[in-house]
Amino acid sequence: MTYQNFSLAQLQAMDAAHHLHPFTDHKDLRAAGSRIITRASGPYVYDTEGREILDGMAGLWCVNVGYGRDELAEVAYEQMKELPYYNSFFRCSTPTPVLLSQKLAERAPKNVNQVFYGSSGSEANDTALRLVRHYWALEGRPQKNRIISRHWAYHGSTVAGTSLGGMGGMHDQLYGAVPNIAHVMPPYAFELRRPGESDHDFGLRAAQAVEDAILEAGADNVAAFIGEPVMGAGGVKIPPESYWPEIDRICKKHDVLLMLDEVITGYGRTGAWFAAERLGLEPDTITTAKALTSGYQPLSALLVGDRIAKTLVEKGGEFYHGYTYSGHPVACAVALRNIEIIEREGLVERVRDDTGPYFANALNERIAGHGIVGEVRAFGLMGAIEIVADKETRERFPGQGTAAVTLRDHAIEGGLMMRAVGDTMILSPPLIWTRDTIDMACDRIVTALDRAEKDLR
Ligand code: PLP
């Protein structure tokens, strides 16, 4: 059975009849009909009508090497023929996770040398939460188990991922979060900076909120702070430069572990292999997934720092945790080749030295001045555009999120896939974008902004 035997209407009807989608209002979906993407090549995706859309989101922040990489398909095929699956429980291993772990240890900050695999970022954060609390228990301090996180954080959609995250709507549907996780203000200057407050001071104030939460609980009761280096799904909220050094200082001062969630920022997106490197951090855990395989296979890798690993190995006995697909041989083979492509094509350096700065400049020069844009932000190849009704007062359009959805629909109509988060538009393109692709994307954003403004005013 192939999809070509069905019309778009038939596919949409079957989709509506049987398929529950993630993060979707199904009544809306059924009324509108799903957009069905059938193939992709380089920076483009194509839908059932053959429409070519520039993918400004790299799938879902993951297809860093772009689409249509035959060698990734070939390496998966070869691995499936040789050994499609074997587990890594019970003192077994297979070659590809061994080689991948060695490679990741080389690329990670120098204090990070161990890897625990899962199939998704959410799973990796479950592992991270268990590991961090287990670490303190093994150290004889089981009460040191509170985790500090932030409002608007996104750490996945399992019960632990949602509990760690700070999305109000998701928490409302939890009906019982994992206990002892606190959330503080995020470093989101656009909405939270006070009149007259400098970016620097705002960054320190946002970090102080973390220290206040540690002091309130008592440092003896706080296991770790978790954060995305740049909040992604929460709206590409880029912290002021003062934020992370201060967080680092606070964590060290109170002996609180640092958990970085690099599910989006890992593997080149910020112009470094890991944002930790760009920010000068040596975290105790680094959660990674998505671009580890450029989305060609589901795979996550929790990178574990020496401090936790040493205790786990020396004092831990058996760690009662793992997934059937931990260290999946095919996914790990694809990850190895994906990393080889990133290295061979110098994609990290390209983002750092060329396309990253060009992207930031293009957003500033071509988008920031538009009548419904309140601010643009960029960090490597992550970008945000704040949509406002009034540039001076930053007042939003009525109906929270409606303006950004209007803009998103115009962008897709005009051949650019973007995402709307509240009143913020976000971009996270494949790292293969060139200056020309960035120019093309900006042309399409300007057209979409003009059309959206007409609709909204
Ligand atoms: N952490 C961050 C920072 C993410 O952006 C995501 C997904 O977008 C996750 C965790 C969850 O990853 P997954 O959807 O693979 O479970």
Q: pLDDT digits over 160-195, tens only?
A: 999 999 999 999 999 999 999 999 999 999 999 999
> What is the reported pLDDT for 240?
98
Map residue 173 onto helix, strand or coil: coil
pLDDT tens-digit profile of 412-424? 999 999 999 999 9
Residue 341: name the closest of 67, 26, 72 by CA: 72
User: Counting atoms of ligand 1 from 1, which one is nearest the CA of 233?
Assistant: 5
Q: Is 155 in the pocket of ligand 1 (CB under 6 A)?
A: yes
The per-residue pLDDT for 49 is 85
What's the pLDDT at 48? 86
Per-residue confidence at 2, pLDDT binned at 50, 70, 90?
confident
Report residue 6's pLDDT band, with 50, 70 and 90 as the boundaries: very high
- What single-letter amino acid sits at 205? R
Q: Whose CA is nearest to atom 6 of ligand 1?
A: 156
Q: Which two tokens stand for residue 236?
A: 């590409």
Structure-token pair, residue 367: 């988008």
**pLDDT at residue 344 above 90?**
yes
Mutation to probe ligand 1, out of 21, 60, 159, 263 (largest number of atoms < 8 A from CB): 263
Q: What is the DSSP string of 88-118?
A: --TT---HHHHHHHHHHHHHS-TTEEEEEEE
Edge-first strand order for the sheet with 112-118 is 112-118, 300-305, 285-288, 257-261, 222-227, 146-150, 181-184
pLDDT tens for each residue of 350-364? 999 999 999 999 999
**Residue 122, ligand 1, Cβ within 6 A:** yes
- Whether 214 lines ligand 1, by a CB cut-off of 6 Å, is no
Concatenate the DSSP letters of all residues of 326-391 into one string: TT-HHHHHHHHHHHHHHHHTTHHHHIIIIIHHHHHHHIIIIITTSTTEEEEEEETTEEEEEE-S-T
pLDDT at position 415 is 97
Write out pLDDT tens, residues 41-81: 999 999 988 899 999 999 999 999 999 999 999 999 999 99
- Position 62 scores a pLDDT of 98
1 pLDDT more than 80: no
pLDDT the model gives residue 3: 86
Confidence check: pLDDT of 400 > 90: no
Cβ of residue 121 lying under 6 Å from some atom of ligand 1? yes
Q: Tens of pLDDT along 96-123? A: 999 999 999 999 999 999 999 999 999 9
- 22 confidence band (pLDDT: 50, 70, 90): very high
Name the band, by pLDDT with cuts 50, 70 and 90, for residue 401: confident
